[in-house]
Amino acid sequence: MMVLYERLLQWREQHISEKNLILVLSLVVGVFSASAAYFLKTCIGWIQWFITEYLIRGEYTFWYLITPMIGICLASLFVHYVVRDDISHGITKILYAISQRKSIIKLHNTWSSIVGSALTIGFGGSVGAEAPIVLTGAAIGSNMAKLFRLNQKTMMLMIGCGAAGAIGGIFKAPIAGLVFTLEVLMMDLTMTSVAPLLIASVTSTAITYILSGTDSMFSQQMIEPFVIDRVPWYILLGLLCGLASLYFTRSTTRLETWFKDHIRSIGMKMLVGGTTLGVLIFLFPPLYGEGYDVISGLINGDSLSAYSSSPWIRFGSSGWMLVVYFVFVILLKVVASVATNGGGGVGGIFAPTLFTGAIVGFVFARILNTVGVSVPETNLALVGMAGLMSGVMHAPLTGIFLIAELTGGYHLFMPLMIVSVMSYVLILVFEPHSIYARRLAQKGELLTHNKDRSVLTLMQLGSVLENDLQTVPPEMELGELVKVIAKSHRNIFPVIDAKGKLKGVLLLDEVRNIMFQPRLYHRFTVGQLMSAPPAVLDNRMPMEKVMERFEDTGAWNLPVTDQDGIYLGMVSKSKIFSSYREVLVGFSDE
């Protein structure tokens, strides 16, 4: 088998150029991504059909307390005993693979997220299927490139093709698939990258059209034309979406941290997460599942359907009661999503973001209409989705094009742009990174659109570490030091004690005026002549922090130690610059 595989690779190298191979693979990745997206949505639909047909039956029932916990438990057991790897935070994992794993994504990610998210969402988990399917598509692209032994840069491009195909397939939105990949995952827009991304996204969308029809994901008939007089209200909605995005981002991060730090055992996580989710869904049924049925109702003028199935219907359905109800849904959607993933479920925040945005837009419109300002609730619910997506994901273009393609509301580009831009600009004041990139950015492990920072992230401290410097002990006398200097080709000497710990550094300039005076050879020791370095680098420090230390100290050489203070080597600024240039050339070469 290996012999046949090697022959296949040799034949490919002789007959198919790498450029043409990338185009072919992008098409194949698009087909597989669409198939995976369709299979996942079908599995979720089957499970939800069984539950609603035989258990819940569309009525307010105590099964809301039970089915979400069942899904969380099944998904958690599957991940823990079958996959045995963390498959949550799918898009964050893609960013980490690009930044820190040479664009390599594990093979099991081509199927494990599908199973885990189908169990979670099918039984009512309050998360979305988009992040798992994007991870699946990216894993397909990564492993396809690995199969043909393509380089890291091409593997990164194939990951982008898989992500674009996944978004295009699951949403029937080819433009959004392309824009999402460029805006959230990729770093540079070049003609070399655009063609494969377009092929993957369009191919995936075409396959989805064949499998499930050409209708938009959210059919709507009640969208009103854009009116210039309503621009101030769209600006206010954009600011409100920015604040809601800030709440969504920070609440998600803090609740996830709480789950991670305070609940250690898997059983307790399933119990706490499942119970919390079940209670929330029992009290607020719109939190059940992805929530796309609620979104469809809101943009088609049917807001009461989500409210009538709740226990709060007994208090009436007046305008203000509905507003209060949906405000609680907005605030608790974050809790429900984190409880789902924290309890062991598998899902993303793509759908919760759209869900929350639609309700934010509806609530804002309902308040205005209640106080006498006439605005179309369906329009504001629609553009609210774009506003939340722009703020939470830091992806305004994705928000604009995705909502336009999801609903066919292309004539609302102006309000979509206003709300998306306002939300994005506002959240940038508080959060410089998206919810996907926040964790990696805090660790200095994130590739960004800033080329300098991206190249530094690709570099590792170990690759510029110099071990050819002569070390000296602090008790060494000046006479012995002169002999060491005579044999060395460097002008800096790390001072190391018997345990290997760094005590200081000795510079040749500091002893030059006494090294030729034999009468002083037994009077001075290295410990008396050494000095403290301007700074000491930790071997776990990212390169961006390393460069900050060099800039702050003005030094050209700095020692590196581990967390116990053991000397590992020296790093010079000139070596970093040389390595930086090599990485930059490889990174930018088209």
The predicted pLDDT at position 553 comes to 87
* 2-212 CATH fold: Clc chloride channel (1.10.3080)
| pLDDT tens, residue order, the chain (590 aa) | 777 878 887 888 888 888 889 999 999 999 999 999 999 999 999 998 888 777 765 555 677 788 899 999 999 999 999 998 888 888 888 888 887 777 889 999 999 999 999 999 999 999 999 999 999 999 999 999 999 888 878 888 899 999 999 999 999 999 999 999 988 886 555 667 788 999 999 999 999 999 988 887 777 666 777 888 899 999 999 999 999 999 999 999 999 989 888 888 889 999 999 999 999 998 898 998 898 989 988 888 887 777 777 777 666 666 678 888 999 999 999 999 999 999 999 999 999 999 999 999 999 999 999 888 889 888 899 999 999 999 999 999 999 999 988 877 677 889 999 999 999 999 999 998 888 877 776 665 565 555 555 565 666 777 788 888 888 999 998 888 888 888 888 888 999 998 889 999 988 887 888 888 888 888 888 888 888 899 999 888 877 778 888 888 888 889 999 888 899 988 888 777 777 666 655 555 54
The predicted pLDDT at position 362 comes to 94
The predicted pLDDT at position 86 comes to 84
Tell me if 544 sits within 8 A of 493, measured CB to CB: no
Sign of the Cα torsion 394, 100, 131, 185 reads positive
- 454-588: CATH number: 3.10.580.10
Tell me if 395 sits within 8 A of 389, measured CB to CB: yes
One fold for both 228-449 and 454-588?
no
Q: DSSP string covering 230-267, please?
A: GHHHHHHHHHHHHHHHHHHHHHHHHHHHHHHHH--SHH
Distance set, CA 354 to CA 69, 389, 420 (Å): 24, 7, 13
Residue with tokens 């963390």: 86
Tell me if 143 sits within 8 A of 7, measured CB to CB: no
Domain ranges for the chain: 2-212, 228-449, 454-588
Q: What is the pTM of this model?
A: 0.80
Tell me if 571 sits within 8 A of 557, measured CB to CB: yes
Start-end of H helices in 302-460: 304-308, 319-342, 350-370, 377-393, 396-407, 413-430, 438-443, 451-458
The predicted pLDDT at position 590 comes to 47
The predicted pLDDT at position 582 comes to 63
The predicted pLDDT at position 18 comes to 83
Among candidate residues 274, 285, 438, 296, the one with its CA nearest the CA of residue 355: 296
The predicted pLDDT at position 9 comes to 78
The predicted pLDDT at position 88 comes to 81
The encoded tokens of residue 561 equal 């130690």
- Chain centroid to Cα 370, Å, comes to 39
The encoded tokens of residue 520 equal 């002083």
Those residues whose C-beta lies under 8 Å from the C-beta of residue 76, and which sit 6 or more positions away, are: 266, 269, 270, 343, 344, 345
Those residues whose C-beta lies under 8 Å from the C-beta of residue 50, and which sit 6 or more positions away, are: none
The predicted pLDDT at position 396 comes to 93
Tell me if 64 sits within 8 A of 56, measured CB to CB: yes
Instruction: Name the CATH superfamily, with its identifier, for domain 228-449.
Output: Clc chloride channel (1.10.3080.10)
Distance CA 332, CA 174 (A): 32
